[in-house]
Amino acid sequence: MRNIFRGFGAVFYKETLHVRRDFGTLFFSLIIPLLQMLLLGYGIDTNIRQINTVVFNADGRRESRELLDRLKNSDTFHVVRYVNSDVEMNEMIIGGKARVGIKIPVDYSDKLLHQMSAQVLVLIDGSDSSVAGQAINVTTAIGLDESLRRALTNNASLAVDMRPKLLFNPDSRSPNFFLPGLTAILLLNVTTFLTAFSIVREKERGTLEQLFVTPVKPMGLLLGKLLPYLGIGFFELLLILTFMRFAFLVPIHGSVFLLALLSLPYIFVSLSLGILISSKANTQSEAMQLAFLTILPSIFFSGYIFPRETMPRVFYVISYFVPASYFINITRGVILRGAGIHHLWLDGLALFAIGAFLLIIAARRFHNKVIMA
């Protein structure tokens, strides 16, 4: 009998029993990602809103109150306190109780009435650059807008009217940005951990050695072990997508079927990575450490949090070797931009290539270090 998948059925049978017996692990490996998703989905908002602001309005007349209303209505500033001196304003900022201080001088309304330039002091705490940037942008824009309104005669229109339109995520919702990326990270976690553990456990118990003395073929063994976890990974993906769509209301613009299809090479990569880890690790704790080692680059170099394009050149190059980069491109493409196969086939191919490469290395390592040892 020259069946290269020999023993597949038996191993598959046994592996599904392990999964069923060890229900706790399965449950947690499915639930913890959902918890992570809840935290990130609800807890993190990259849009800067409601910055704590202290106001010293020395003028106090109608024009100054109108300006303050406009600032408040921008949703960027949240006035925590009105003060009556520069000292108090400074104290609030140094004490961290406010990030922005707005001082309207006593002659603000007078200068406006006399067609003179009125100055407004905006003090910004620069210790958080994204907050500072947002405060600068919004205050300058409002100042410019206010000036234009006063300079232009009634009903005159702007010479140049820039009309930015946000495609795909019109409200700039953070979950729309984060969750498709998170899908990639979570999927990688679960499948890599589960496969690595399932093989390392057999090493620890000595059953792997036993299997090598049976007529089971390496391909039968590997496939039988991996297929149940491929199934779990796929189920996990569907769970995450369902959650994302119905709990976080992230619309899926593209085809779910395409996403599922393109997730296969990615799960393949995770499984291969799991095998590679298990060829090195001899205990479950070693496997755990190695698996964490693979997760960090996936988080930081994949564009999940920081855009790849703004990375220093070295990291940008590294990001091409991180499988999650491709899958995040796929998930964001399909979910947010409604991209089709003709946009994303290259990413799918890249994943498949990485997966095959890892599997070959893993198989070689297994042959040399595990069987021959």
225 counts as binding other proteins under rule CB under 8 A: no
Cross-strand bridge partners of residue 70:
none
200 counts as binding other proteins under rule CB under 8 A: no
Least separation in angstroms between CB 191 and other proteins:
21
Among 50, 119, 207, 289, binds other proteins (CB under 8 A): 207
Contact 110, 27 (CB under 8 A): no
Contact 230, 18 (CB under 8 A): no
Least separation in angstroms between CB 213 and other proteins:
4
Least separation in angstroms between CB 15 and other proteins:
10
Three-point CA angle 101, 107, 110, nearest 5° = 130
Instruction: Indicate the SS3 state at residue 77.
Output: strand
368 counts as binding other proteins under rule CB under 8 A: no
209 counts as binding other proteins under rule CB under 8 A: yes
Cross-strand bridge partners of residue 54:
81, 101
Among 39, 94, 293, 371, binds other proteins (CB under 8 A): 371
Contact 335, 263 (CB under 8 A): no
**Closest CB to other proteins among residues 356, 363:** 363
Among 213, 246, 309, 310, binds other proteins (CB under 8 A): 213
Least separation in angstroms between CB 203 and other proteins:
11
367 counts as binding other proteins under rule CB under 8 A: no
Contact 185, 295 (CB under 8 A): yes
**Closest CB to other proteins among residues 208, 290:** 208
Least separation in angstroms between CB 370 and other proteins:
11
**Residues whose CB is less than 8 angstroms from the CB of residue 203 and which lie 6 or more positions away in sequence, other chains included:** 278, 282, 370
Q: How far apart are CA 101 and CA 146, in angstroms?
A: 19
The two structure tokens encoding residue 76: 């960027």
Which ranges in 281-312 belong to alpha helices (H)? 284-300
Among 26, 132, 216, 305, binds other proteins (CB under 8 A): 216
27 counts as binding other proteins under rule CB under 8 A: no
Provide the binding-site residues for other proteins, judged by CB under 8 A.
1, 6-7, 9-11, 13-14, 17-18, 21-22, 205-207, 209-216, 371-372
